[in-house]
Amino acid sequence: MSIVKEFREFIARGNVIDLAVGVIIGAAFNSIVKSLVDQVIMPPIGLLMGGLDFSKLQWVLKPEDPATPAVELVAVQYGAFINTVIQFLIVAVVVFLLVKLVNQVRRADADEPAPSAPTPEEKLLTEIRDLLAKPAAAPKAAVAPAAKVVAKAPAKPKA
């Protein structure tokens, strides 16, 4: 079997395609959540905390030297980390809700009893019903024609 043919069979499997769709949608959802956190959630929180911009919060370990053109700043950017943690929590809650929804659907499907096999009595009744539903063909007579019996009058005695 050629590599191209094997690859085509691999890609055509439903699980691989489902996974690819999930990854693409997940990447798009990640962008939406990032925008939600950076542009909608964090600005009001920063405003409530005195006009603080969380994305710029950092602990400077080594300050930048203005005399050199190279960037020498070494800092722990905990504000960006806080934003990332909030993004993660939002994604985690959404994934949890999706899994919960899928589990409810699966439980509902499992609760429905599977149709049981018909009992022998039901099979017999079904066969009888099917036979009765067929149009009845005119039965061919298997009886031979009756022989003609001619009764002869008894002979008169001659006297």
The residues spanned by each domain of the chain are 3-110
Q: Which CATH superfamily includes the segment(s) 3-110? A: Large-conductance mechanosensitive channel, MscL; domain 1 (1.10.1200.120)
pLDDT, residue 100, reads 92
- Say which residue the tokens 């009992």 belong to: 119
- Overall pTM > 0.75: no
Q: Which of 9-23, 24-38, 67-81 has the lowest mean pLDDT?
A: 9-23
pLDDT tens-digit map of 120-134: 898 899 999 988 888
Strand 59-62, strand 74-76: pairing? antiparallel
Dist CA 86 CA 54 (whole Å): 11
As given in the structure block, the two tokens for residue 30 are 């990640």
DSSP for 106-132, written as a single string: HHHHHHSPPPPPPPHHHHHHHHHHHHH
As given in the structure block, the two tokens for residue 12 are 């055509």
Q: Which of 2-11, 38-47, 75-84, 137-146 has the lowest mean pLDDT?
A: 137-146
